[in-house]
Amino acid sequence: MPSRIDFPKTAPGAYMAMRGLEAYVRQSGLEPGLLELVKIRASQLNGCAYCIDMHTKDARAHGETEQRLYALSAWRETPFFSERERAALAWTEAVTLVADAPIDEDDYDDVREHFDEKSLADLTLAIVAINGWNRLSIAFATVPGSYRRPAPEE
């Protein structure tokens, strides 16, 4: 299936604004591997094949294991994720699926045990950003498999 719209070319200002949010999140101090897990999990929930492909490639580049990537959709059932990662993944699910149910106070309390106010705000912004990217990629039928990681900067 061909892509419907080339969003970056069609709306470059909006694309750059989204990239700006991504840049903010990347410099926030949150661990790159954690951010990739959050992006993959939200993309799984939203059914965004393009973003799953992109962020599994990026996660591997940050040293993520195949075992954890394969188990991510069933993270609650595995011993492979730290308590901090579990809190972030539960928060990701709650924020991503907020239209289905209000955010549970237990999820908030749990995530606050592992993230201070600033890092929780940054984590939530990362979740907001990937949910936006998912919706753009799904709506405009961005072709999965077309993402290539940029060459590392020297």
pLDDT digit string (tens) for 87-107?
A: 999 999 999 999 999 999 999
3-class secondary structure per residue, 31-100: CHHHHHHHHHHHHHHHCCHHHHHHHHHHHHHCCCCHHHHHHHHHHHHCCCCCHHHHHHHHHHHHHHCCCC
**pLDDT at position 153 over 60:** no
Q: Dump pLDDT digits (tens) for 118-139.
A: 999 999 999 999 999 999 999 9
- Written out in words, the top-level CATH class of the domain with range 11-139 is mainly alpha
Q: Where are the domains of the chain?
A: 11-139
Average pLDDT over residues 29-51: 97
